[in-house]
A and B are shown apart, each in its own frame.
Chain A
Amino acid sequence: MTTDTLPELGSIEPNRFGYRDFQLGKFSFSRDEYFVHIRWPNGTHMLAVDAFLRAIQRDVAWGFFYGIVNFDTVIGTVNHYGTVDLFAGRFNPQYRQAGLDYSENFKTEAISRLFEAILVDWTNATFDPFASPAETGSAFGPKNGSNKEAITRHRVTAKRMIGAPGDEPVRTDDNGFPINRQFKDVPQDAPEVHAEPGFEHEVVSVNLFAYLSRSDVTWNPSVVSVCKNSLYCPTTEEYILPIIHGNDRVEWFVQLCDEIQWEVEDRDTGAVRARVTMKAGDVAAMPADIRHRGFSPKRSMLLVWENASPELPALYASGKMPPAPVQF
């Protein structure tokens, strides 16, 4: 059953640490100086507050993404593209075997509003959930201001290509995107574009690597080019992907620079399947039946390539499409 009434957005009175409590269906959320406490009818769980805020920030920014966003081995969400499951233990074999997993379905708008409200109240002035740990302060301690600027960033979604007339602009110092400290050596040269009169809107080229060097977020795929349902969603990565992504379709990675190591597990059981190390120029598929988490020792550029066709989840779930993209 889908819960479609908009939830109360937090308790009226804050707790003794200055934070409000939240409720979504039969899930309750509270936080203290270090931890988030999540409760549901037959269980409880704790996460470190920085990890929790990083995870729900991605859920909010990505519209709950494709498939499963695991916050850790217990809590997460499943996107049904109009509704979202919030679950506890659904993809944890011990919870499943014990019959203790729990899940509720919500209208996307409802859970999104709730997560946004949590981010507003629980993100202190010193913390940016999108930043790498080296670039931000502490998420811990009693309530200390807010950081609305960090948690309400515009998500880049190009209609055709970044830099095309009327589309998402390129990033510059002047529009608030300086070069990131770890990409100071990335060339910022522009392509030489010579458009004949009347064709200025179609002769378009941008320095994508320079664009990415100016990203102020980590682990945040954003659409830069669109070929029907084929989406290039590059992102800059540093430290650890804040969530464990369980696919409902194949996605592909192209490592544009530096290195990321991926831990790959079975999507449903968490059983370890492989470790994939990607260096500049490497291309790898993430099959439709796995989940993965990335580790980037230095800020790196990753091209995430997605197929946004809406019929794919059902095709893979039914077994009509094999989970690996090619057979050879």
Chain B
Amino acid sequence: MASQPTRFGSLQHFDKGGVEVIKDDPRNYVFSNVFEVASKARPYEKVAVGKNIEYVIEAIRAEGTSGWRVAAQDEFALVMDGEVEVRLVKPDDPSLVPPGSHGSIPVAGDPRGKRMGRVRARRGHMTLLPAGAAYQFHAGHPSVILLQTLAGRDTIERWAEICQTTPRPQA
């Protein structure tokens, strides 16, 4: 069998598929593209591209240095394009994040606590953001993170803007 190159997407280049409706509403498929979403987002906006009851996956344009955030549950950051440094701190004050809270919350300033370490992640790399650990992202050039988490106070839902609403994909 002839070899075919593996095609990944990126902020610089992506091809979008789409929904061809036979007898349906295209909005039922909530069809979007993470690179398109990130290309139009502000740095570190947490734009939901998937939602399943209380859970979301968020497309994040990583550019520059984010604020610190902390969550009560594990989250997972998958780099879809570019390179992102993930910095982790164990906060001295465990009450920084209320137990049972959903999604991550911002931390004012720099969290006081022990440095846990850092990860330099590139395309395809998935990093654990441990529950209770404060984390910060840094990207020297625009990159894309797909974040697995719960919907939180800063999750942005803009479905009508990001999703296909026409019965055929737009050219």
Q: Are A227 and B19 in contact (CB under 8 A)?
A: no
- In the complex, are the beta carbons of B128 and A160 less than 8 A apart? yes
The answer to whether residues A208 and B19 also contact, given A182-B4, A185-B6, A280-B8 and a CB cut-off of 8 A, is: no
Which residues of chain B are within 8 angstroms of A113 by Cβ–Cβ distance?
Answer: none
Number of chain A interface residues as a range: 35 or more
Partner of B50, one of A164, A204, A264, A283: A283
Q: Are A275 and B15 in contact (CB under 8 A)?
A: no
B34 in contact (CB, < 8 A): yes
| A14 proximity list for chain B (CB < 8 A) | none
Min distance, Cβ A168 to any Cβ of chain B, angstroms? 13
The reply to whether B127 and A283 contact each other, CB–CB distance below 8 Å, is no
- Enumerate B51-80 residues with CB–CB distance to A below 8 Å: 51-53, 55, 57, 73-76, 78, 80
Interface residues on B, range: 35 or more
CA A174 to CA B80, docked complex, whole Å = 27
- The distance in angstroms between the C-alpha atoms of A283 and B56, with both chains bound, is 12
Q: Is B124 an interface residue (CB 8 A)?
A: yes
- Given the complex of chains A and B, what is the CA–CA distance between A306 and B7 in angstroms? 25
Q: In whole Å, how far is B15's beta carbon from the nearest beta carbon of chain A?
A: 5
Q: Is A176 in contact with chain B by the CB < 8 A criterion?
A: no
* A149 interface contact, C-beta 8 A: no
Contact across chains for B29 and A226 when beta carbons are under 8 A apart: no
Q: How many CB-defined contacts (below 8 Å) exist between A and B? A: 233
Task: Report the Cα distance A232→B126, complex, angstroms.
Answer: 11
B52 to chain A, nearest CB (A): 4
A256-286 near B? 1/0 per residue, CB < 8 Å:
1111000010000001111111111111111
Given A203-B88, A277-B17, A298-B4; A227-B73 close (CB under 8 Å): yes
Nearest-CB residue, chain B, relative to A321 = B53
Contact residue among A161, A206, A264, A279 (Cβ-Cβ distance under 8 Å from B17): A279
B80 touching A281 by the CB < 8 A rule?
Answer: yes
Q: Is A254 an interface residue (CB 8 A)?
A: yes
Q: How long is the Cα–Cα vector from A202 to B115 in the complex, in angstroms? A: 12
Structural contact, B119 and A326, CB atoms closer than 8 A: no
Q: Are B74 and A227 in contact (CB under 8 A)?
A: yes
Interface assignment of A173: CB less than 8 Å from any CB of chain B: no
Kindly identify which residue among A232, A279, A326 contacts B51, using a CB–CB cutoff of 8 Å: A326
Taking a contact as CB atoms under 8 Å apart, the answer to whether B3 and A225 are in contact is no
Is there contact, CB below 8 Å, between A182 and B3?
yes
> B30–A285 contact, CB under 8 A?
yes
**Cβ of B117 < 8 Å from any Cβ of A?**
yes
A130 to B86, CA, bound (A): 37
Which of chain B's residues have a CB closer than 8 A to the CB of A205? 86, 119, 121, 125-128
Which of B5, B55, B157 lies at the interface centre, i.e. has the most chain A CB atoms within 10 A of its CB? Answer: B55
B150 in contact with A228 (CB, 8 Å): yes
Question: Which residues does chain A contribute within 8 Å of B163, judged by CB atoms?
Answer: 328
Given that A274-B21, A285-B29 are contacting pairs, would A227 and B76 also be in contact in the complex, using a CB cutoff of 8 Å?
yes
CB distance from A306 to the nearest CB of B (A): 8
A189 contacts partner chain B, Cβ-Cβ < 8 Å: yes
- Would A194 and B119 count as touching, CB distance under 8 A? yes
> Which of B15, B50, B149 is the one whose CB lies under 8 Å from A254?
B50
Q: 4 additional contacts, CB 8 Å, given A227-B75, A272-B22?
A: A181-B3, A193-B117, A199-B117, A325-B52
Residues of A within 8 A of B (CB): 134, 160-161, 164, 181-187, 189, 191-196, 199, 202-210, 224-230, 232, 250-252, 254-259, 264, 271-287, 298, 305-307, 309, 312, 321, 323-328
Question: 6 tightest A-B contacts by CB?
Answer: A209-B124, A277-B17, A281-B9, A280-B9, A203-B117, A230-B55
